[in-house]
Copies of this chain bind each other. A is one copy, B any other.
Amino acid sequence: MSEKLILDGNVVANAVKEELKGRISALKEKGITPCLATILVGDDPSSATYVRMKGNACARLGIESRKIELDKETTTEELLATIDKLNKDKDVHGILLQHPVPSHIDERKAFETIDIEKDVDGVTSFGYGQTALGFGKYPSCTPAAIMKIIDHYEVEVSGKHAVVVGRSPILGKPVSALLLNQDATVTTCHSRTVNLEDHVRQADIVIAAVGRPNFIQGDWVKEGAVILDAGYNKGNIGDVDYEACLEKAAAITPVPGGVGPVTISMLLKHTVDSAESI
């Protein structure tokens, strides 16, 4: 068995944050404090945890986070009005609407209301389109994190066959687009895919973005594949059966400590990018 490369997300996230520190200082010298507004609707405990984690990450770097907490009875119109106010607020550089929102709210409409210049979480269709056509400023953070890890560890993408398992608007679709733009041949698989294993088995690069614990099996992956696990299921379990896939992979992200920490650092980076662009 050849030596395995563990794609350590904490190393990548720390490198990103180190670089951001200098940029944030420079902004502050100009009197600008990067500011991320987070919107939490309702009282879902995991959503509250995610928002808190993001706020803490901001605080550690000196990025302001403005936490907006809305009652679970909030209407779509009220949420749109909140977003609109943040769109117009010159001190806010990024807007993150924590999802899922309560089911009576039109989440897509809310996402679409976020100004493209402040869509640091990459949720708008406009931002997605720009990303897919190759000139998006703020891709969704998890896809951006996957590409950052690939870049950091110099994983070859051009000409490789990438198989993405999952097709959500903030993960499977945009990561497929980003890999395609870096000249991978990309296959996007999903719940209706027939013979999923046969597709995964051909992949030079596997992206697990399906949201099912330990879903990708060791005997599904080709010897020498690079595996990036964007899954984050209850109990800190990824979408990939890590131990079994480690045997086969040339390189693999662990869970936790893989894609997750880089995702948050991408959110911070986009917020700083946005603050710099004003």
Taking Cβ atoms with an 8 Å cutoff, the residues of A that contact B are 108, 124-130, 132-133, 135, 158-161, 167, 169, 173, 176-177, 180, 183, 185-190, 192-194, 199
21 A-B contact pairs sorted by A residue (CB < 8 Å) = A108-B135, A125-B129, A125-B132, A125-B133, A125-B135, A126-B129, A127-B129, A128-B133, A129-B130, A132-B173, A133-B169, A158-B192, A159-B192, A159-B194, A176-B188, A180-B188, A180-B190, A183-B190, A183-B192, A185-B199, A186-B187
Q: How far is the CB of A114 from chain B (nearest CB, A)?
A: 13
Q: How far is the CB of A194 from chain B (nearest CB, A)?
A: 5
Looking across the interface, which residue of chain B has its beta carbon closest to that of A126? B126
Looking across the interface, which residue of chain B has its beta carbon closest to that of A192? B183
Interface of A is mostly: mixed
Looking across the interface, which residue of chain B has its beta carbon closest to that of A184? B192
A-B pairs, top 10 by smallest CB distance, nearest first, are: A129-B129, A125-B129, A183-B192, A128-B129, A187-B187, A185-B193, A125-B130, A126-B126, A125-B133, A159-B194
State which of B124, B135, B188, B194 has its C-beta within 8 Å of the C-beta of A186.
B188
Q: How far is the CB of A231 from chain B (nearest CB, A)?
A: 19
Chain B residues whose C-beta falls within 8 Å of the C-beta of A132 in the assembled complex: 125, 128-129, 132, 173
In the complex, the answer to whether B129 meets A193 with C-beta atoms within 8 Å is: no
Chain B residues whose C-beta falls within 8 Å of the C-beta of A193 in the assembled complex: 159, 185
Chain B residues whose C-beta falls within 8 Å of the C-beta of A186 in the assembled complex: 187-188
In the complex, the answer to whether A167 meets B192 with C-beta atoms within 8 Å is: no
State which of B135, B180, B183, B190 has its C-beta within 8 Å of the C-beta of A185.
B190
In the complex, the answer to whether B189 meets A194 with C-beta atoms within 8 Å is: no
Chain B residues whose C-beta falls within 8 Å of the C-beta of A188 in the assembled complex: 176, 180, 185-187
Chain B residues whose C-beta falls within 8 Å of the C-beta of A158 in the assembled complex: 192
Chain B residues whose C-beta falls within 8 Å of the C-beta of A125 in the assembled complex: 126, 129-130, 132-133, 135
